[in-house]
Structures are given as structure tokens and as C-alpha cells.
Chains A and B, each alone.
Chain A
Amino acid sequence: MPPFHTGAPPVSYNVTMGGDGFEAIVAAHHGEIYRYLRRATGRASEADDLSQETFLRAFRAYRSLPPDANVRAWLFAIATNLSRNRFRAGKRQRRALEAVRAQSSHFDGQGPEAETLFNEARTRIEAVIAGLPLKQRLAFTLRKVHDLDYEAIARSLDCSPESARAHVFQALRKIRQGLDRHELVQRERQR
């Protein structure tokens, strides 16, 4: 038989679309994106949902990402957008606040009394954070929990780095006001 009548063409061309390193991105960032969305949305069920949505969106788009892109900041930006859209759609802020308050038992320590005192302050901080206006809460969480720089936060929130910083500072002031007449500092001193 002539050598050319071999039927199927050779499958030697090595351009794979699936084995693309996206697994590594999921492995590296799923946990922190989930953590972020829990705080951003205030609801575990929303975090389940939106963390999946974040990575599915990322998967659709990430091949067009420039090779030097900051994948982590980009994922946070997608997650931020999704939480903002979710909020715009549902105006669920109050429900989120309630949810975090209900959840606060989760943060209560079961340890010695001193721990409990500290945790009370922390629970209070949690509640203030949950009650912040959305942009402030997102900016604050991105900066203080996830350590993103203001450039990245600004991209996520679609604002300037200066206003990203202003959001964070405004959040800090509100937390400070929320702690008025509370034990936090005295506790810290006793330590």
C-alpha cells in the first residue's frame, strides 16, 4: 500500500489547550479568593458560588492575558467585580451584615477569659467591616487582609490609587469609631 494512504493525519503538532497551567493557578489562589469572597459578600454560600464563577471567568480569559500580568491581582479584580455586580443586583448589604453578625459566634474563642475579651473586640471589628459601604469594605479587605497594593486595588475597583487609599482610611476611621469605649487598647497593654 502506498505510504500516503495511512488515513488519519499525524497527531504530532503540539498545541494543547487543556494542559495549560490553569490547574496551578487554581491550586495557588482558590483558597485566598474564597477567603476574600467570604468577607466581600458576607455569606458562605455566595463565596461558594462566586469563587467558582471567578475561576470560570478567569479560565475563559486568561490565555489572552499578557505573559507578565499579575495573575493574583487579576483574580482579585474579577472576584471584586463579581461581588459588586452581585450587590448591585440584589442590594443584599443588610442581609450580609446580619449574616456576619450571626456568624460571629464562629470567631468567639473558647479559650481563657483574656482571649474572649480580645475576641469581643475582634467580633466588633468584624461587624463594623461587614457594615461598611461596599467599596470601602472591598478596598479595606484587599489591602489589610490580602495585602494588595493600591495600584491593584484601584484596578479592581475601577478608581484611582488615591481614592482606593481614601477608601481604606475611611474604613479604618469607621472601625476606630466603632471601637470607642471598648477594651481593645487596654487589653493590648495588659499583654
Chain B
Amino acid sequence: MKETPSECCAIEPDLIATATQEAEPAAARRVEEHIGRCASCRGEFEQYRAIEGAVGALRGEPLPAARLTRARAELESRLADLRARLVEYRVFPSPLGPILIARSEQGVSLVEYLRGRRALGASRLSRAAGVEAVEDGAEVEALYRELLEYLEGRRTRLDWPLDLRWARSEFHRAVLQVTAGIPYGAVTSYTGIAWKVGRPAAVRAVAQALRWNPLPIVVPCHRVVGVSGSLTGYAGNRIDLKQRLLATEGVPTLKMRRDLQIAREAMYAVSRGEVEYCLPTCPSLRSRTLVHLTLFGSRERAEAVGLAPCTTCRPDLHPISR
């Protein structure tokens, strides 16, 4: 093997670069000049040029169309499957402690208080079968901002599309749907919900369904109280959270011995099916039990959902003083 002159050695990288269209103009000029007088390097240059040409042909190398189509179809079907299973979530700080928000393709599927532990292991997400949870910000962040506005009393609606697949049964779903319709600043009873879903005796089952509510705050189970007016349960034993949410919405509560109650006498009442709201003492109210009444913390909240003041008791002329 003949010895390569040092000049040829030095220019070799530039030579490869020039032949394969990777070189700076200055380097290319040096190479042109060198191969003009060095036959052996010119040979090398042409070899590399030819390689570049042959490699370029690889770009257009035909792919096996049938196989590619099959791979693509399989990908599409796996993507569809993944889309259906995928849940995006994130844990956010809030005045009520860390809150996890998760959404699927269909809508918001989970809102969860995390009781101080911010890890996913503490969440229902980690126990759900057939779900792939992905931590992701952007989509869920917008929901979080709205939730914060709500918690700060600056927003009265969370018009989110809901994914109720996580409800445990059709009955639970029906309960959640009805509960979702209770307006901001209003309160009704478990018994009232049972009536609404057409199972007036299933009061305990309604309470169970709301205990498993996968979407607290969004499906406002905090607006459902015992028929006596007692706040009863919330998120395990977090009645303080329930009171706080109700307070945010302007629903008055008071402490009766050791029991937290809504302050019924300080709230406006609407009989089921009526379009007018009354003072709690109005003689036109057919019933005084919470089975058939929805209560509002203020006239403003009642009127916000289209109710008019009663023409008998005239709450507009004699508003409840606080």
C-alpha cells in the first residue's frame, strides 16, 4: 500500500464532505484545488460522489405497500384503543388541599381531594382498571383555572363535558345527572333526588351514589343535604369542606349542638315544579319538608335560574334580612 502524503491525509475529511455535499464553500474550494493536481484524491472524490448518488437512490426505495398499509391500519386501531383508555390528569394545589383533575376523550372523569398526599398512588386513578393515566398539563390546566375561580367565588358555572363512565351503575349515573342539575347557591335533599330519579324509597342508595361521586364540586353533591337540613357526610368525613363550598355559594349554615345544618329559615324556598320562589313562611308552600323543596341562599341565585318572586309572600318586598 502506497503511503499517503500528509496533505492528502489532512484534506480527507473536507474531501468526503465536499463529495457528499456537506462542506462549507471554503473547504469545497480547497478540495477542488487539491484534486485538480492530485489524481489519487480525485479518484477518492469520485468514489465518494458515486456513493452519495447510490445512497440517494435509497431515499426512493419502494416500500412494500401492502405491508405498510397493514402496519398503518393496525396503528390506527391501537391509537383508537389508546384514546379510549387514556386519561390525562394533574394534581393542583387549592384552598381545599391538593386536588386531582383527570379527563378523558369524552370529558372530565375525575375530581379528587388528595388529603395531603400528592402522589398518584393515593388516587382512584391508580386503582381504575382499563385506564392509562398520563400526567399532562395543558388540557387539565384550563379546567383547574375555572375550578379556582369557582372556589374563590368568581364563577358560578362549571360547564364541563362530563365522562360519567366511572359511575358504578346506571342508577349512580342517573343520580349524578340529576345532582348536576342543582343550581349554584341552591340546596336540596337526598330524598328529593330520590324522587327526581323516580325511586322515592332509594334514599340510602342516593346517598351511596353521591358518596362515590367521581366528580365532586363539578357534580355538586355538596348541594345535597339530609331531609332534616343536616349537612350529613362529604368526602369521607370532610363536612368542613361541604360547609365551605356552601358558604362560597352564599348558602348559610349554622351549628346545632354538634350538628352542622343549613340555616333553613334564612333561605328562600321553591316547591318542586313551581316557577316562583317564596319566603320560608309562605302559606302557598304545599309542604315544608325538604323532600319537595329546593332552597336558595339568596334572591339573586333564585332569579339567576329564572325564578320569579312569589306573588303571595312577596320576597321581593320583604327580603330575608341576614
Interface residues of A (CB under 8 A from B): 1-13, 15-18, 22, 26, 30-31, 34-35, 38-39, 44, 47-48, 51-52, 55-56, 59-60, 63-64, 107, 118, 121-122, 125-126, 144-146, 165, 168-169, 172-173, 175-176, 179, 184-185, 187-189
Contact = CB atoms under 8 A, between A and B. Distances in A.
A60 B86 contact: yes
10 contacts: A2-B294, A47-B71, A52-B71, A56-B79, A56-B82, A63-B138, A145-B58, A145-B59, A172-B16, A176-B48
Nearest to B161: A11
Interface in B123-147: 132, 134, 136-139, 142-143
A55 B159 contact: no
Contact of B67 (A2, A16, A48): A48
Nearest to A37: B71
Contact of A52 (B78, B159, B180, B181): B78
A171 B79 CA distance: 36
A184 B54 contact: yes
A175 B186 contact: no
Contacts of B178: 7
A12 B43 CA distance: 70
B160 to A, nearest CB: 5
Contacts of B54: 118, 121-122, 125, 184
Given A34-B71, A44-B64, A145-B58, A59 B138 contact: no
A5 B88 contact: no
B281 interface: no
Given A7-B180, A35-B61, A48-B67, 20 more contacts: A4-B181, A5-B181, A6-B181, A9-B159, A12-B159, A13-B160, A18-B105, A26-B72, A26-B79, A30-B71, A34-B71, A52-B71, A56-B79, A63-B139, A126-B58, A144-B58, A145-B55, A172-B16, A179-B51, A184-B51
Contacts of A12: 159
Nearest to A124: B54
A13 B132 CA distance: 24
Contacts of B57: 122
B41 to A, nearest CB: 13
Contact of A144 (B55, B158, B160): B55
Given A63-B138, A107-B61, A188 B50 contact: yes
A49 to B, nearest CB: 9
